Amino acid sequence: MKLTEDDLYRNSTQFRNWSFTSQQLAAQRLTTNIQATERVKANVARQRAHRAQHVESDSISSGVENGSGANTPNAVASDREVDCLTVDEELKIVDDFCERAIKLGEHCRFPFEVTATCIQYLRRFYLYNSPMTYHVHNISRTVMFLATKVEVHNLKVDEFAAFFTSASVTTESILAPEYMVMQGLRYNLDVRHPFRGLAGGRMEMLECAGGRYEGPGSGDDIQAQMLQLPKKKNGPAANWTVENMENRINNASFFASKTLKEAALLTDAYFLYTPSHIWLAAHLLADEPLTLFYIGLKIPTSSPIYDKLLSTIHSCAKLISSHRLYINATLPKEEKTAREANHQAEIKRLIGKLKMCRDPDKIDLVKLNQAQKRDAMQGDGGLEQGKAKRRKLERESYEKEADAFWGPELPKNG
Amino acid sequence: MSKQPTRANGASTKRLAEDGGASTLSKTLHSLSLQQGPRARSLADPSSDICPVCKSSRYLNPNMKFRVNPECYHKMCESCVDRIFSHGPAPCPIAGCARTLRRNKFREQTFEDLKIEREVDIRKRVMSAMTKQEADFETLRDYNDYLEQVEEITWNLILKVDVELTESRLRRWEEHQKAELNLAPSRREPESLPTDHPTLKKGVVQRKAPSASSGSMLDTSANKDDKDTGFTFRGLKKRVAPPKEAPFDPFDGWEITPQYFVQQDDYEVDWYQTFKKDPAHLVAMWDVRDYASRTLREAFGGFGIFIEDEINARAIPSMNAGIGTEQAAVAAVMDVNMEDVF
């Protein structure tokens, strides 16, 4: 019984649970958005009604209520109709936080895989959840911490929390949504990245250039063909020395890896294409004749899937190259800054809008998490302390009795 | 020993032999139970409490225990056994019995009647040699014939008819069985023996005997084929050695065969060469070829998979599987509405 690389990938959770057609992806985002919108509206209406009742009962002491609700504007406090985010706006917010995750990764000096995994987790999570329900700001920290564990870049929560200067980031706030995030990810923690595949391709291409390729066909023939590759697409055949060709390969994979680490990560490429197609697409963007030559080595042009493969890789390349950051890199500086400023302004507006349409039930994740646990926070710490002391005494006396010959007494019911 | 039950027993055994020996033991026991009277008398008989060798009686020595040797089944008390046989093998002290007995063979009798004791011993011995089962025979008829033959052998031994012949045939049959069971190990023996020679003295002598006999037995069995097996049974299938157990395969027969690449033994790219020499990698039993195979597997994992096609394919024909869209949609609904921890 034989397993090919394709069979191996077919068995991965990324293919089984997290690969979609573009229609499915759009439909899923729409469903999520509709459900979240309904929920936000219902919850806001309920809270408003509750609040109105509350105000009527004691209208005098209206100082601080509803936790953070007094100072910052939120959906419950205002009287206007809730203006929920659309699918596109949600996606823009998630994309923006993915970009911020790259910055966060750089700030924490994490290896790149951590950031990459974190971004894919975020995208997967927000496929089934809306930023209106769980704010990306909170979730992205948790997800980043989760990614450090998955990519075996272990550090403690305290150490991770120390990276943030804001006082609102505590170990509790990082850990609180963790279980929920795991559920949202369906416990599928394996992300197949294209980075290692790119290294493998580069390795083989360098072997080809050196005439040491052991695949089908003779190494020398392949080397000779490779050294005559045109510089540009549809250009005339050129003469390369081995050294120059190696430089060309290295440059191409450098450029491709840059694309993979920015634009490709931030698009839906992981949902729509396999990692193999993604790295080939990035390589195609870097050096088209070289990539086509390499693909030709792997699949003969006469093969029935050759055309289909090329069109898939081209469409993946199109998706990657349509990303804002990829386009920005090609633009002159003035236009780039202008566009970037535009983009930032829009993001700022969207985040302001998000503030007014958040689900009021899900704002304080820490409190919600504690309510789930046995020691639900009772408001003030004194009661908590007394409870802890009583529990400790009980445990100690139980242990003491357990040493007795007949064991401790059975607990009295009632 | 009283004479009454002995005779009765002999009669019953004879009768059983005529019957064809079907479930003899149970019948023998049954006939015993009928003879409650004489047995009770024999219990009361004071002669059973007197050692036939030293004539001391249980009346004087309440702790006295009787022992028998399966060589001749003569009963004597423990102190006599200690006295006579403590210096090695000696002839049986009972008059008329000149068998050589060894002390370590003496044991307490299980059945009060020594005839039964002897019969049970003989049956044990025969059963250990005759281990064929119904599945080993071609027909049920053959199996029944075999059982009858076994019973005949047993009764020959019990009634002391042709004992010598039957014993030698039994032994040959046993050897034949053993040879059939482990043909392979017996061939290896001559090689392993000489290495034992200098270290073991007594052990070698002891070990040599069976190996020599087994060797000669092998020769005879090889030369005369099935002539010298002691017994021949009609319809007995030839023993087929069980198939050799295949070595354990943790991957259950699956193997990864790359479709789009051929992994080379070595790659001359610089980082690959660095990995090969890096002590941090070498120490951990890490094989740099694993790196090559993994990178290339990831490079082409999904090379020939077209997600759109495969998802459409799995959604349309099989509604039962529920993978892909259906499941995702259901899971999504459940997730937002129910599966929420908060």
- CATH of residue A152's domain is 1.10.472.10
From A122, A151, A184, give the residue that closes a domain: A184
- Asked whether the beta carbons of residue A196 and residue B255 sit closer than 8 angstroms, the reply is no
**Which of A134, A162, A184 is a domain's end point?**
A184
pLDDT for the residue numbered A378: 52
Looking at the fold, whether A37 and A169 belong to one and the same domain comes out as yes
Residue A105 lies in a domain: yes
Considering only the beta carbons, identify the residue of B268, B312, B335 that sits closest to A212.
B268
Point out the residue among A8, A19, A210 whose CB comes nearest to the CB of B256.
A8
Whether residue A7 is contained in a domain is answered as no
pLDDT at B29: 55
Dihedral angle sign, alpha carbons of residues B100, B105, B106, B110: negative
Point out the least confidently predicted range of A51-65, B82-96, B175-189: A51-65
Q: Which of A69-78, B50-59, B314-323 has the lowest mean pLDDT?
A: B314-323
Q: Are residues A20 and A154 in the same domain?
A: yes
**Contact with chain B for residue A349, Cβ under 8 A:** no
Which residue on chain A is closest to B265 by alpha carbon? A214
d(CA A153, CA A110): 8
Q: What is the mean pLDDT of residues B114-121?
A: 92
In this complex, the residue of B255, B267, B306 whose CB is nearest that of residue A312 is B306
Model confidence at B296, pLDDT cuts 50, 70, 90, reads: very high
pLDDT value at residue B52: 87
Domain-embedded: residue A317? yes
Q: Cα separations (Å) of B3 from A262, A347, B47?
A: 108, 116, 12
Which chain B residue shows the shortest CA-CA distance from A362?
B342
pLDDT of residue A25: 94
The helix (H) or strand (E) run that includes residue A278 is helix A275-286
**Are residues A148 and A226 part of one domain?**
no
Q: Alpha-carbon distance B318 to B312, whole Å?
A: 11
pLDDT of residue A374: 64
A36 and A177 part of one domain: yes
**Quick one: what percent of chain A has pLDDT higher than 90?**
60
Which residue did the predictor score with more confidence, B76 or B200?
B76
Quote the domain boundaries for residue A137. 16-184
Which residues from B are below 8 Å from A197, CB to CB?
Answer: 295, 298-301
CATH number of domain containing A288: 1.10.472
At A39 the pLDDT is 92
State whether B254 and A2 contact (CB < 8 Å).
Answer: yes
**Mean pLDDT comparison of A74-83, A218-227, A340-349, highest-scoring range:** A340-349
- Chain B touched by A105 (CB under 8 Å): no
Residue A268's nearest CA partner among A10, A87, A4 is: A87
In this predicted structure, the answer to whether residue B254 has a pLDDT above a threshold of 70 is yes
Q: Is residue A339 part of a domain?
A: no
Asked which of A175-179, A233-237, B338-342 is least confident by mean pLDDT, the reply is: B338-342
Whether residue A49 is found in the same domain as residue A120: yes
Distance from CA of A177 to the nearest CA of B (A): 9
Higher pLDDT, A292 or B238: A292
Q: Place B218 in a pLDDT band, splitting at 50, 70 and 90.
A: very low
Task: Report pTM.
Answer: 0.67
Amino acid sitting at position A75: A
| Band of residue A188 on the pLDDT scale cut at 50, 70, 90 | very high
CB contact under 8 A, A207 and B262: no
User: A129 CB near a chain B CB, below 8 Å?
Assistant: yes
Q: What is the pLDDT of residue A80?
A: 76
**Portion of chain A with pLDDT greater than 70, in percent:** 92
- Name the minimum distance, in Å, from the CA of B292 to any CA of chain A: 7
C-alpha angle A254-A255-A260 in degrees, rounded to nearest 5: 95
Q: Find, in chain A, the residue whose alpha carbon is nearest to that of B269.
A: A203
Measured from the Cβ of residue A54, the count of other Cβ atoms closer than 10 Å reads: 13
Contact A40, A357 (CB under 8 A): yes
Would you state the structure tokens that stand for residue B231, as one six-digit string? 């017994």
pLDDT at residue A341 is higher than 50: yes
pLDDT of res. A51: 86
- Residues of chain A in contact with residue B253, where contact means CB-CB under 8 angstroms, are 1
The stretch A107-112 carries a mean pLDDT of 93
Tokens 């963007």 -> residue: A285
Q: Are residues A91 and A155 in the same domain?
A: yes
User: In terms of C-beta density within 10 A (0-12 exposed, 13-18 middle, 19 or more buried), how is residue A83 classed?
Assistant: exposed
pLDDT confidence band for A401 (50 / 70 / 90): confident
Residues A135 and A201 in one domain: no
Name the closest residue on chain A to residue B251, using Cα atoms. Answer: A1
In chain A, residues with a C-beta closer than 8 Å to the C-beta of B300 are 5-6, 197, 276, 298
Beta pairing partners, B255: A2
Cβ contact B342–A361 (<8 Å): yes
Q: In terms of DSSP H, where are the helices of A75-184?
A: 87-108, 112-128, 136-150, 157-161, 171-175, 178-184
- Whether residue A116 is contained in a domain is answered as yes
Lowest mean pLDDT among A288-302, B44-58, B132-146: B44-58
- Same domain for A29 and A168, yes or no, is yes
CB contact set of A74 (below 8 Å; sequence gap of 6+): A68, A355, A356, A358, A360, A363
Which of residues A322, A340, A355 is at a domain's end?
A: A322
Total domains, chain A: 3
Residue B211 has pLDDT above 70, yes or no: no
> Would you say residue A351 lies in a domain?
no
User: Is residue A291 assigned to a domain?
Assistant: yes
DSSP 8-state secondary structure symbol assigned to residue B304: T
What is the average pLDDT across B120-136? Answer: 91
pLDDT at residue A373 is higher than 80: no
| Cα radius of gyration (chain B) | 37
- A79 and A150 co-located in one domain: yes
Q: In Å, what is the CA distance from A106 to each residue of A135, A149, A253, B6?
A: 22, 17, 22, 102
| Residues contacting B108, CB < 8 A, separation 6+ | B65, B66, B67, B68
Question: Predicted confidence band at A250 (pLDDT cuts at 50, 70, 90)?
Answer: very high
Q: Give me the pLDDT at residue B241, please.
A: 80
CB pairs under 8 A between A and B: 175
- Asked if residue A333 belongs to a domain, the reply is no
Please check whether residues A398 and A294 belong to one and the same domain: no
pLDDT-derived band at A383 (thresholds 50, 70, 90) equals low
pLDDT given for residue A273 in this prediction: 95
Q: How many CB atoms are closer than 10 A to CB A123?
A: 20
Q: How far is CA B17 from the centre of its chain?
A: 31
Specify whether A225 is located in the same domain as A127.
no
pLDDT at B4 over 70: no
Residue A112 sits at φ, ψ, to 5 deg, of -65, -30
Q: How confident is the model at residue B97 (pLDDT cuts 50, 70, 90)?
A: confident
pLDDT digits (tens, 9 = 90+) for B10-45: 444 444 444 444 455 555 555 555 444 444 444 445
Strand partners, B75: B68
For residues A204 and A98, membership in a common domain is answered with no
